[in-house]
């Protein structure tokens, strides 16, 4: 008897579970990904800080014909009739006070990367695959935030504090959410079937396709996506290419859009609390060594190298002492890093006793080993050379190491250049120049020269940038036998100036 | 002296020669045959420190080094200037066939200790094959350290100064003075040779 009863009891519960599962399958949209498209309409302006509403501003890009076209326009410029896509000259004609910057894609990407890191607080899947936008998969986070509205509001709050204006739209297909966000229509579509009807009214201009195809579509009288969906597919593919069809399918959710995940860059952060407070640097060194060793193993595990890091000495009172140390070439050599830090610590004056040491780095990048030269057998190790230069620079300060390069300018002062990195030179001079140049020309007294060679070189240049010169250069010898390069201005031929030495 | 005679003299161990030829020290040709003739080994000592005393900056001390600089530059070595008295002028260096991309200027901002530290670090590294330095003051003990560093790194160190000092540990000491059409070079001291030789070179 007993087993039968238990069996009877089990039957209804099993069937309940079955029904539950079936209803879940019917409502598959509960589990399908839901994408929140976050479009930044003014990103190009925001990266330059051109967010003031009252000041007309625009960002330009070059097109294939070499014209400068406006890419983004501020609201106040828009009021004066300036619109994106306009040439720069016509924009200036409408609004002479327009502040213009050249579009900086690198800056935009950096800004997006920062925002994507913030986005990771809302979902584990943030994608930067669409231009000027973040795409967040939010289905899994809805329960946490209560509703999509709450999540969107929090996200908007977070991004707005960073000075960005955003448009958000949610849709089950990533491209659809991006298109809606880009159009400025802040709506939420939860099921696939609604996609086509909502997207249908969007302009085809929003699609990320060639300018040429946009023009041709406009000429055919196609203005919105609905018009495109009404056209026969084979004809569309033949006339405008298959990419347009693929985009249409992706927008309507018929075709999956594979998206890459954004991963936050790795960071190293480690703290060692000292057993007792100390103001003696010698006591700090073991702790710093330990941190550097940890950093080195962290880097080796990830096959990475560090370009810059901060050593922070925490005091019980007052602000911590912060030492920022960079390397010319990303490295993971703990001996080298320790040598550099030792150099910094040696010339450090502590404001008070140190209670903890912290090492922090966010500049962690992939490790690229140096390729050895197959044919040069006995060449010095370039990595060691860079490490030596790092060491010199750390001890002597940033401006202590300089490279030389020549610039094509006739004025002697402007023909040289000091750089922080080696640079190629373009020599254009024919008359022999002196090996030494004085930092500034020095007036010579008449008794100093013993002979002046008669050949003169007239250098007359620079009238366009306010540093015009008109000088006659001669070679000369002074009383002690030094070979000089001297000149006189054509206005005052009596006064000679020393400008260089032939060394 | 022709090569055959040299060979003959070397082949017989019983022959003793008063002026010992220093064939085994590595050298770098100076590019001036007149100067090569008076230097032991026939060129700049390649793993050593050379001290050059000049009467005045700009009499041609750099022109004397240009052929050697060019040779090292062509091989892809770095050339370092440590606290030069004036700015090396890149257009001029380009005109003389040097690759300024392989030149580095180090400024030690008036610190004497840093100057010697930098010189030693650079001389110890084989990539900086030629290091030119302009010290404020010549100090014997520090010069010995530089000499050891140059030997270890296989590099050439050149120190320029204007002081008249009697003796220093540098293996080669030269004094330069201007002559009518170039330079007069007096060898004050040379390892493996006698001091006192004089060479006159013509500089263009």
> pLDDT by residue (tens digit) across B114-134?
899 999 999 998 888 899 999
Of A213, A235, A260, the last residue of a domain is: A260
Percent of chain A at pLDDT exceeding 90: 22
Pick one of 2.40.30.10, 3.20.20.140, 3.40.30.10, 3.40.50.300 as the CATH number of B25-202.
Answer: 3.40.50.300
Mean pLDDT of A175-200: 89
Is A315 found in the same domain as A214? no
For A351-384, the pLDDT digits (tens) are: 888 999 999 998 888 888 877 666 655 555 778 8
Maximum Cα–Cα distance across chain A = 133
Max mean pLDDT among A10-14, A288-292, A362-366, A432-436 falls in A288-292
Residue A384 lies in a domain: no
For an interface test with B, which of A390, A395, A503 has the most B Cβ atoms less than 10 Å from its Cβ? A503
What is the rounded distance in angstroms from the CA atom of residue A102 to the CA atom of residue A105?
10
Task: Say yes or no to pLDDT of A316 above 80.
Answer: yes
Is A293 found in the same domain as A250? no
Task: Say yes or no to pLDDT of A27 above 80.
Answer: no
Task: Say yes or no to pLDDT of A455 above 80.
Answer: yes
Mean pLDDT of A58-74: 84
List the single range of A17-26, A72-81, A245-254, A325-334 with lowest mean pLDDT. A17-26
Is A151 found in the same domain as A231? yes
Contacts of residues A154-157 at CB distance under 8 Å and 24 or more positions apart, as own/partner, are A154/A122, A155/A36, A155/A38, A155/A119, A155/A122
Range of the domain at A485: 432-501
Q: Are the Cβ atoms of B122 and A388 closer than 8 angstroms?
A: yes
Structure tokens at A96: 């002479």
List the single range of A46-55, A97-106, A464-473 with lowest mean pLDDT. A46-55
Q: Are the Cβ atoms of A501 and B103 closer than 8 angstroms?
A: no
Is A85 found in the same domain as A159? no
* Residues written for chain A: 503
Find the CB nearest B56 among A400, A435, A482: A482
Max mean pLDDT among A117-126, A365-374, A444-453 falls in A117-126
What is the pLDDT, as a whole number, of residue A428? 66
Task: Say yes or no to pLDDT of A62 above 90.
Answer: no
Of A62, A85, A103, the last residue of a domain is: A103
User: Strand A321-331 to strand B44-45: parallel, antiparallel, or no bridges (unpaired)?
Assistant: unpaired
Task: Say yes or no to pLDDT of A12 above 80.
Answer: no
Cross-strand partners of B198: B186
Residue A204 lies in a domain: yes
| Band (B20; pLDDT cuts 50, 70, 90) | low
Residue A385 lies in a domain: no
Higher pLDDT, A288 or A374: A288
Task: Say yes or no to pLDDT of A21 above 50.
Answer: no
Q: Within an 8 Å CB–CB cutoff, is residue B184 touching chain A?
A: no
Number of separate domains in chain A: 4
* CATH code assigned at A340: 3.30.1490.100
| Residue contacts between A and B (CB atoms, under 8 Å) | 157
Q: Are the Cβ atoms of B121 and A500 closer than 8 angstroms?
A: no
Q: Within an 8 Å CB–CB cutoff, is residue B26 touching chain A?
A: no
Residue A2 lies in a domain: no
Mean pLDDT of A58-79: 84
| DSSP-assigned states of every residue in A181-215 | HHHT---B--SGGGHHHHHTTSBGGGS---HHHHH
What is the pLDDT, as a whole number, of residue A462? 82
What is the pLDDT, as a whole number, of residue A13? 42
Is A157 found in the same domain as A39? yes
Q: Are the Cβ atoms of B95 and A482 closer than 8 angstroms?
A: no
What is the pLDDT, as a whole number, of residue A15? 41
Of A366, A396, A415, the last residue of a domain is: A366
Residue A239 lies in a domain: yes
**Which of B191, B131, B135 is closest to B155 using CA atoms?**
B131
Q: Are the Cβ atoms of A483 and B55 closer than 8 angstroms?
A: no
What is the pLDDT, as a whole number, of residue A348? 85
What is the rounded distance in angstroms from the CA atom of residue A46 to the CA atom of residue B55?
62
| Band (A6; pLDDT cuts 50, 70, 90) | very low
Q: Which residues have CB under 8 Å from A215's CB, separation 6+?
A: none
| Band (B1; pLDDT cuts 50, 70, 90) | low
Task: Say yes or no to pLDDT of A247 above 70.
Answer: yes
Is A286 found in the same domain as A170? no
What is the pLDDT, as a whole number, of residue B170? 86
Task: Say yes or no to pLDDT of A122 above 80.
Answer: yes
Residue A64 lies in a domain: yes
Q: Are the Cβ atoms of B100 and A406 closer than 8 angstroms?
A: yes
For residue A483, the chain B residues in CB contact (below 8 A) are 58-60
What is the pLDDT, as a whole number, of residue A289? 92
* CATH code assigned at A113: 3.30.70.270
Element (H, E) at A248: helix A242-252
The answer to whether the CB of A133 falls within 8 A of the CB of A178 is: yes
Residue A379 per-residue DSSP state:
P
Residue A387 lies in a domain: no
* Closest CA of chain B from A437, distance in Å: 5
Is A161 found in the same domain as A131? yes
For B89-109, the pLDDT digits (tens) are: 988 888 888 888 888 999 987
What is the pLDDT, as a whole number, of residue A427? 66
What is the rounded distance in angstroms from the CA atom of residue A65 to the CA atom of residue A27?
52
Higher pLDDT, B38 or A374: B38
Element (H, E) at A328: strand A321-331
Higher pLDDT, A20 or A484: A484
Range 51-80 of B in CB contact (< 8 A) with A: 55-63, 76-78
For A410-448, the pLDDT digits (tens) are: 888 888 888 888 877 776 667 888 889 888 898 988 788
Find the CB nearest B91 among A392, A415, A502: A415
Is A190 found in the same domain as A336? no
Task: Say yes or no to pLDDT of A293 above 90.
Answer: yes
For an interface test with A, which of B57, B89, B158 has the most A Cβ atoms less than 10 Å from its Cβ? B89
Task: Say yes or no to pLDDT of A287 above 60.
Answer: yes
Is A225 found in the same domain as A155? yes
Is A199 found in the same domain as A113? yes
Domain positions in chain B = 25-202
Percent of chain B at pLDDT exceeding 70: 94
| Band (A503; pLDDT cuts 50, 70, 90) | confident
Percent of chain A at pLDDT exceeding 70: 91
- pTM of this prediction? 0.66
Is A127 found in the same domain as A256? yes
What is the rounded distance in angstroms from the CA atom of residue A151 to the CA atom of residue A5?
49
Is A301 found in the same domain as A197? no
What is the pLDDT, as a whole number, of residue B18? 63
For A129-164, the pLDDT digits (tens) are: 998 999 999 988 888 998 899 999 999 998 888 888
Residue A395 lies in a domain: no
* Closest CA of chain B from A312, distance in Å: 26
What is the pLDDT, as a whole number, of residue A379? 55
Task: Say yes or no to pLDDT of A97 above 80.
Answer: yes
């Amino acid at each position: 008897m007993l087993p039968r009863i238990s069996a009877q009891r089990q039957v209804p519960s099993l069937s309940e579970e079955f029904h539950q599962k079936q209803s879940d399958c019917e409502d598959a949209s509960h589990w399908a990904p839901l994408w929140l498209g976050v479009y930044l309409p003014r990103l190009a302006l925001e990266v330059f800080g051109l967010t003031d509403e009252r000041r007309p501003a625009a960002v330009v890009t070059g097109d294939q014909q070499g014209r400068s076209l406006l890419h983004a326009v501020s609201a106040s410029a828009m009021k004066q009739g300036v619109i994106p896509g306009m040439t720069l000259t016509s924009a200036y004609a409408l609004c002479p006070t327009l502040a213009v910057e050249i579009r900086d894609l690198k800056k935009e990407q950096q800004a997006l990367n920062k925002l994507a890191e913030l986005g990771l607080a809302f979902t584990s899947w943030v994608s930067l695959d669409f231009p000027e936008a973040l795409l967040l998969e939010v289905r899994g986070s809805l329960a946490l935030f209560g509703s999509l509205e709450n999540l969107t509001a929090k996200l908007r709050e977070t991004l707005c504090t960073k000075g960005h204006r955003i448009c958000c739209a949610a849709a089950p297909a990533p491209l659809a959410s991006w298109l809606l966000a880009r159009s400025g229509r802040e709506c939420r579509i939860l099921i696939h079937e609604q996609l086509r009807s909502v997207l249908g009214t969007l302009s085809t201009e929003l699609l990320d396709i060639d300018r040429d195809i946009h023009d041709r579509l406009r000429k055919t009288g196609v203005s919105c996506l609905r018009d495109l969906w009404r056209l026969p597919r084979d004809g569309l593919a033949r006339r405008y290419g298959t990419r347009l069809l693929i985009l249409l399918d992706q927008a309507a959710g018929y075709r999956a859009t594979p998206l890459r995940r954004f991963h936050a860059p790795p960071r190293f952060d480690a703290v060692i609390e000292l057993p007792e407070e100390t103001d003696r640097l010698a006591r700090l060194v073991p702790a710093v060594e330990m941190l550097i060793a940890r950093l080195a193993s962290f880097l080796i595990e990830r096959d990475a190298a560090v370009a810059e890091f901060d050593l922070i000495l925490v005091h019980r009172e007052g602000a911590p002492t912060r030492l920022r140390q960079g390397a010319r070439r990303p490295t993971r050599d703990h001996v080298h890093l320790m040598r550099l830090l030792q150099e910094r610590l040696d010339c450090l004056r502590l404001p008070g006793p140190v209670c903890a040491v912290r090492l922090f780095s966010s500049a962690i990048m992939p490790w690229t080993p140096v390729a050895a030269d197959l044919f040069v057998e006995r060449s010095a190790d370039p990595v060691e050379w860079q490490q030596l230069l790092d060491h010199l620079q750390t001890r002597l300060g940033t401006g202590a190491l300089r490279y030389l390069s020549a610039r094509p300018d006739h004025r002697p002062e402007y023909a040289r250049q000091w750089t922080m990195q080696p640079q190629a030179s373009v020599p254009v001079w024919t008359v022999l120049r002196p090996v030494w140049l004085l930092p500034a020309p020095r007036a010579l007294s008449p008794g100093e020269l013993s002979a002046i060679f008669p050949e003169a070189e007239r250098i007359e240049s620079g009238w366009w940038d306010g540093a015009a010169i008109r000088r006659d250069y001669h070679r000369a010898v002074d009383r002690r036998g030094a070979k000089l390069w001297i000149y006189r201005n054509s206005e005052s031929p009596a006064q000679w100036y020393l400008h260089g030495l032939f060394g | 002296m022709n090569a055959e005679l040299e060979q003959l003299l070397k082949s017989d161990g019983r022959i003793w020669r008063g002026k010992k030829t220093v064939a085994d020290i590595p050298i770098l040709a100076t590019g001036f045959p007149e100067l090569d003739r008076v230097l032991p080994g026939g060129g700049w000592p390649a793993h050593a420190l050379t001290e050059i005393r000049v009467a005045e900056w700009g009499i041609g001390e750099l022109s004397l080094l240009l052929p050697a600089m060019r040779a090292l530059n062509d091989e892809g070595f770095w050339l370092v200037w440590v606290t030069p008295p004036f700015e090396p002028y890149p257009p001029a260096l380009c005109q003389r066939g040097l690759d300024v991309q392989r030149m580095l200027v180090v400024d030690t901002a008036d610190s004497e200790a840093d100057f010697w530290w930098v010189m030693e670090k650079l001389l110890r590294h084989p990539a900086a094959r030629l290091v030119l330095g302009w010290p404020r003051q010549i100090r014997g003990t520090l010069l010995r350290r530089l000499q050891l560093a140059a030997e270890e790194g296989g590099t050439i160190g050149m120190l320029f100064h204007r002081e008249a000092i009697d003796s220093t540990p540098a293996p080669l000491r030269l004094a330069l003075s201007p002559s009518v059409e170039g330079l007069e070079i007096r060898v004050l001291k040379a390892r493996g040779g006698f001091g006192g030789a004089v060479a006159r070179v013509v500089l263009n």
